[in-house]
Amino acid sequence: MPETPDQDAAENLAPRSRNRTATRDAILVAAKAQLAEHGFAAFGVNAVARRALCDKQLVYRYFGGLDGLIDTMGDDLASWVSDRLSAGGAFPAAETYGQRLDQILQRYLMALRADPLMQRIIAWEASENAPHVRRLADARSRALMIWVATMRGGLTPRDGLDAPALNAVLVAAIQHLVLCGAATGQFISVPLATDADWLRIQAMVTRLIRAMHD
Amino acid sequence: MPETPDQDAAENLAPRSRNRTATRDAILVAAKAQLAEHGFAAFGVNAVARRALCDKQLVYRYFGGLDGLIDTMGDDLASWVSDRLSAGGAFPAAETYGQRLDQILQRYLMALRADPLMQRIIAWEASENAPHVRRLADARSRALMIWVATMRGGLTPRDGLDAPALNAVLVAAIQHLVLCGAATGQFISVPLATDADWLRIQAMVTRLIRAMHD
DNA sequence: TAGAGATATCACCAGTTGGTGACATACGCA
DNA sequence: TGCGTATGTCACCAACTGGTGATATCTCTA
């Protein structure tokens, strides 16, 4: 992921002096920002507290440590995911399952590209199997699948097609390309920086879905 | 990735007392083993030296620090990649570019599944953009592309197909699925543990290639 | 206004990290 | 044989980590 300049300054507006819920929120916000900007390698109690401009003791008091904090982030994630993914408004009508799947995956790709926090969580998920990561990843995965189920409507895939396997392949490809694109701007010599670059990938996804579903 | 029990014992056979090249090799072996087993989060001068059963000072003396060590690992990687990928012997004859691509990707998937070190490097590559990681990743990517070019033979993709984009999508999917499978044993509810699980994915890859190339 | 309870801060711990300089020891060459 | 050098070891540094107990300070209630 690209290194962004530190902006460890206070990202809280209110004075928030001696206000428990406000401090708690500030810590949560700081945690998300820290993870999004600096990745899981630099994610810890000290870093979060420093960023939230409060003592790390409060992280222990209000969340019971990093694990509790991560769990809380996971709880947040559900609504957050659907917010981000629904940001583009309702889908246009789709006649086939394939068309709807294409709409879903295109939107997922766009949302993921614009969302460093989600990228970081996915990268974390693919790198480690520590229990807290699992919980975060599960929360993310669950939220995603609920959203997909909602968006699918009454459409069903055609017979003789291993739809779950196809979905896995396409979602995995999208996630990996977004991660690598964010990190290095390319993938096996295919550029992944500009919108035009991504249009090639998006077109390929559409083409693959058409070939399998139509 | 699954946690494997520590086997930090000596993985060196010879007494290797006061033998520079042997010590150097031992450090290199230890570095690879450390990265493969415990991931990049636990990868550092201290861990490697501890594992190689020597003083960390020697890592600095013989490699000029972690960066030099990683660079040397990258140099090794080239031959290592082609060794692993060529392990299955020559490919059977292929009539079309699509058939050959399928053979290549199937073998890549198998090799990757069996290779924790490569998995770790890929995960690292997708997570960070630090300069040393870049060099490792570049070495890996370059070796892979050389191998693919060699294996491709004189076959060419058909017109009107964005072959690089298709390759990017398929390789990305394979890498991501292998990573997530190794870490959690599944991906969006599709199991990725047994050989039978992977057969579903492999069949889907074949099907996608056929649809695009034949 | 006085006190109690909540909120925040500080000081400290043991352990780890990356990194360096000084020292001991064994080997090979004169 | 003795000596220089390559090899290996040890001790140390500052900085950081996760984690905890004691203390200060504010706020609200009685």
A197: chain B residues, CB-CB within 8 Å: none
Of B110, B129, B5, B120, which is closest to residue A127 (Cα–Cα)?
B120
Q: How far is the CA of A48 from the C1' of C12 (A)?
A: 20
Of A46, A58, A47, A57, which is closest to residue A16 (Cα–Cα)?
A58
Rounded Cα gap, residues B180 and A126, in angstroms: 5
Which residue is closest, via its CA, to the C1' of D10? B55
Dihedral through CA B45, CA B6, CA B118, CA B60, nearest 10? 10
B81: chain A residues, CB-CB within 8 Å: none
B2: chain A residues, CB-CB within 8 Å: 129
* Structure tokens that stand for A143 in this block: 């939220």
Does position A3 have pLDDT exceeding 60, yes or no?
no
pLDDT grade for B12, boundaries at 50, 70 and 90: very low
Name the least confident of A49-63, B36-50, B150-164. Answer: B150-164
Give the gap in angstroms from C-alpha B89 to the nearest C-alpha of chain A.
Answer: 24
Rounded Cα gap, residues A147 and A131, in angstroms: 24
A39 and B208: CB-CB below 8 Å?
no
pLDDT digit string, tens, across residues B13-35: 445 678 999 999 999 999 999 99
Q: How far is the CA of B55 from the C1' of C23 (A)?
A: 14
Segment (H or E) for A16: none
Residues of B numbered 43-102 whose beta carbons fall under 8 angstroms of chain A's beta carbons: which are they?
none
Q: What is the pLDDT of residue B43?
A: 97
Tally of CB atoms within 10 A around A153 = 12
Q: How far is the CA of B18 from the C1' of C27 (A)?
A: 8
Does position B200 have pLDDT exceeding 80, yes or no?
yes
The answer to whether residue A212 neighbours chain B at the CB level (below 8 Å) is yes
pLDDT grade for B85, boundaries at 50, 70 and 90: confident
pLDDT digit string, tens, across residues A92-145: 999 999 999 999 999 999 999 999 999 999 999 999 998 889 988 889 889 988
Max alpha carbon distance in chain A (Å)?
62
Rounded Cα gap, residues A26 and A63, in angstroms: 12
The answer to whether residue B164 neighbours chain A at the CB level (below 8 Å) is yes
Rounded Cα gap, residues A180 and A192, in angstroms: 8
The answer to whether residue A2 neighbours chain B at the CB level (below 8 Å) is yes
More confident: B23 or B76: B23
The pTM (predicted TM-score) of the whole model is: 0.93
Tally of CB atoms within 10 A around A67 = 13
B203: chain A residues, CB-CB within 8 Å: 162, 165
Mean per-residue pLDDT over chain B, rounded:
90
A176 and B173: CB-CB below 8 Å?
yes
Rounded Cα gap, residues A120 and A112, in angstroms: 10
Does position B75 have pLDDT exceeding 80, yes or no?
yes
What type of residue sits at position B3? E
Distances, alpha carbon A58 to alpha carbons A30, A55, A133, B85, B178, in Å: 13, 6, 22, 52, 39
